[in-house]
Amino acid sequence: GITRHYKFNIRLQNVTRLCHTKSMVTVNGKFPGPRIVAREGDRVLIKVVNHVSNNITIHWHGIRQLQSGWADGPAYVTQCPIQSGQTYVYNYTIIGQRGTLWWHAHVSWLRASVYGPIVIFPKHNVPYPFPKPDKEVPIMFGEWWNADPEAVISQALQTGGGPNVSDAYTINGFPGPLYNCSAHETYKLKVKPGKTYLLRIINSALNDDLFFSIANHTLTIVEADASYVKPFQTDILFITPGQTTNVLLKTKPLSHNATTFFMTARPYFTGQGTFDNSTVAGVLQYENDSSNITNLPLPTLPPINGTSFVANFTSKFRSLANSQYPANVPQTVDKHFFFTVGLGTHPCPKNQTCQGPNNSSKFAASINNISLVLPTTAFLQAYFFGKSNGVYTTDFPVTPLMPFNYTGTPPNNTIVTNGTKLVVLPYNTTVELVMQDTSILGAESHPLHLHGFNFFIVGQGFGNFDAKNDPAKFNLVDPVERNTVGVPSGGWVAIRFLADNPGVWFMHCHFDVHLSWGLRMAWVVLDGKLPSQKLPPPPADLPKC
C-alpha cells in the first residue's frame, strides 16, 4: 500500500437550509465533509487542525484500527479531545477491509455537521465480487436542525427531558422539496440509461433508523459495513445510524422513456415520545431530462412502525462466505455476556420536585442498568500507563443487575446507576454477546456499534432471549459481518467476535440521544505475547486533557 495524506481544517462555515442560516462546525468548510479515498493496505494520515472553540475528535467508523487504537477517536475513551488551536494526526493502516465506511466527530453532537464518507477500494487487480459498476456515488443521510445541535443536546441534558427533534432529514446535505422553503436544496443524481451505479449508502442521521427507496427502481445489495454479502434484490432499504450498505442500481435501458424519479427516506420508529417523521426526497434524473420535480410519484415505503419489514429485510443478509472472503465465525465461545439495552430514569432526590419523565430527575439509558460515565482523562491512556485507579474498575456485570420479563410490563423501578465499569478480555478471547431490548419507556430498536471489531450476527428474535433453545438456531456458517446492529425493537440479537485487537474499545447505541443518556460501555482487550499482538505506545502529539 501507499501513504495518503489528508488535512482536516475544523472551521466554522455558514450554511443555509430551510431558509435558516447558521454557523456550523465543518471540515474544510464542507457540509457534508470531504471524502477519504484509499485502497486496502494503504496507510492514511489525517492531520486535524482545530480552528474552532469547541473540543473535537474524529472517529473512523468501522475502520478496525488493528494495533492503532490511538487513532480510533471517541473522546475520553481513546483520546482526550483536540482543543481549540491544537493539532492531532490520525495515523492508521487499512488492513483486510474494503468497501464503504465513514468518519464523524465523536464529541457531544458535533457529528451533526462533521461527517463524510470513507471509500476503500480493493487492492490493485482485485475485482469486486459483483459486476463492475460504471460509476460510484456516496449517498449520505443526515439530520438538520435549524437550531445549533450542541444547544439542543445541552439543554436536554440540563432539563432531563428529551431533546428537540430535527427539522429535516437530508441526502448528501440536502432536505429536498417536501420541506418548506427547500425546493432548491435537493440532491440530484444524474444518470445515463443502461448503466450500473454503485450507491454507497451511509446513515449518518443522529437519532433515526431510515427506510430508503427509489421510485420504479430495484436495488441489489452487495455489501454491508464494508463486508461483502450474498447479493439480494430489494425495492426498499432499511438502515440504522452507523450502518453502511452498498447497492447496485441498474438504470433503465435507452429505449425506455426514462425521465426523473424521486428517491426518499423516512424513519422507522416504534418508541414513545416525539420524533421527526418527515420525508427527505432527492431525485434520480436521466440525462437530457428536465422534468418538473414537483409532481413526481413518491416511492412506497413501509409504515413508520414497520417492524415486520425490518425483521424480514435484516434476515436476508448473509456473508458472502466463499474461499476468497471466508466468514471466520468463532465456532467456540470463551466468554458469554448477556446485556440489556434500553432506557430508564434517574430518581428524583428526596424532598425535591423534578421535571424529568414520570417525575424522575431525568432520562437515562444504560447497558445492564449501568450508564457509563466518561472520565476527564481517556480510558486508553489510563489503561496503557497503568493508571486505571480512580478512572475505571473492571467489574462490569456479565448479566443485568435487575433481570425481569422483557416482554411483560416493565417494573416501576427502572432506575439506572452511573458507573465507570469496563470489561477486560484477554487477547484472542472469543466472545458471544446477547443484547436484549428492555422495552422500558417503549420498545425500540437500538443500533449498537462496536469500535475496533467486526462481529457476526449469529441470531436474532423477538421477545425474551431463550438461553436454552435459541442458541441451537444460531447461524455459524454465513452470518453477516457488521460493526453496527439494530437490536430488534422488543427483541434480542446475538453476536460473536474475536478479541484480537488490543486497546480500549467503545460500544454504544448509535442514536446520539441514547449515547448522551449513557447507553455505552467499553471493552479492554489485553496485549497478546507476540510484538504483533501488542498496542504500541501513543504518538507524541496525542492530545492532553
Nearer CB in complex with ligand C2O: 286/506: 506
Q: Is 61 in the site for ligand C2O (CB under 6 A)?
A: yes
Smallest gap from residue 267 Cβ to ligand C2O (A): 18
Q: Which position among 17, 64, 446, 451 is part of the footprint of ligand C2O (CB under 6 A)?
A: 451
Instruction: Tell me if 401 sits within 8 A of 428, measured CB to CB.
Output: no
Instruction: Give exposure, 231-241, as e/b (b: 16+ Cβ within 10 Å).
Output: beeeebbbbbb
Count of positions (residues) in the chain:
545
Smallest gap from residue 77 Cβ to ligand C2O (A): 8
Instruction: Tell me if 7 sits within 8 A of 47, measured CB to CB.
Output: yes
Q: Which of residues 221-260 bind ligand C2O (CB under 6 A)?
A: 242
Q: Which position among 98, 106, 200, 362 is part of the footprint of ligand C2O (CB under 6 A)?
A: 106
Smallest gap from residue 449 Cβ to ligand C2O (A): 5
Q: Is 486 in the site for ligand C2O (CB under 6 A)?
A: no
Which residues in 20-98 belong to E strands, given as ranges?
20-27, 36-39, 43-50, 58-61, 87-93
Q: Tell me the β-bridge partners of 25.
A: 12
Smallest gap from residue 496 Cβ to ligand C2O (A): 20
Nearer CB in complex with ligand C2O: 94/178: 94
Residue 11: CB atoms within 10 Å: 15
Q: Which stretch binds ligand C2O (CB under 6 A): 208-216, 249-257, 373-381, 505-513?
A: 505-513
Q: Is 446 in the site for ligand C2O (CB under 6 A)?
A: no
Q: Which position among 24, 27, 57, 59 is part of the footprint of ligand C2O (CB under 6 A)?
A: 59
Q: Is 346 in the site for ligand C2O (CB under 6 A)?
A: no
Q: Which stretch binds ligand C2O (CB under 6 A): 121-129, 421-429, 435-443, 502-510?
A: 502-510
Instruction: Tell me if 362 sits within 8 A of 356, measured CB to CB.
Output: yes
Q: Which position among 17, 104, 482, 496 is part of the footprint of ligand C2O (CB under 6 A)?
A: 104
Nearer CB in complex with ligand C2O: 362/508: 508
The 8-class DSSP code of residue 330 comes to: -
Nearer CB in complex with ligand C2O: 266/508: 508
Q: Please name the helix (run of DSSP H) or strand (run of DSSP E) that holds residue 154, with its range, or none.
A: helix 149-159
Nearer CB in complex with ligand C2O: 178/210: 210
Q: Is 506 in the site for ligand C2O (CB under 6 A)?
A: yes
Q: What is the DSSP string of 224-281?
A: ETTEEEEEEEESEEEE-TT-EEEEEEEPPPTTS---EEEEEEEEE--SSS------EE
* Cα→Cα distances 251→51, 187, 192, 287, 299, Å: 43, 18, 7, 11, 16
Q: Is 200 in the site for ligand C2O (CB under 6 A)?
A: no
Q: Which stretch binds ligand C2O (CB under 6 A): 312-320, 327-335, 425-433, 504-512?
A: 504-512
Residues ≥6 apart with Cβ < 8 Å to 223: 99, 100, 229, 244, 245, 246
Smallest gap from residue 284 Cβ to ligand C2O (A): 28
Nearer CB in complex with ligand C2O: 421/508: 508
* Cα→Cα distances 141→70, 108, 173, 321, Å: 28, 19, 8, 29
Cell numbers at 432, concatenated: 458471544
The binding site for ligand C2O (CB under 6 A) comprises 59, 61, 74, 104, 106, 242, 449, 451, 506, 508, 510
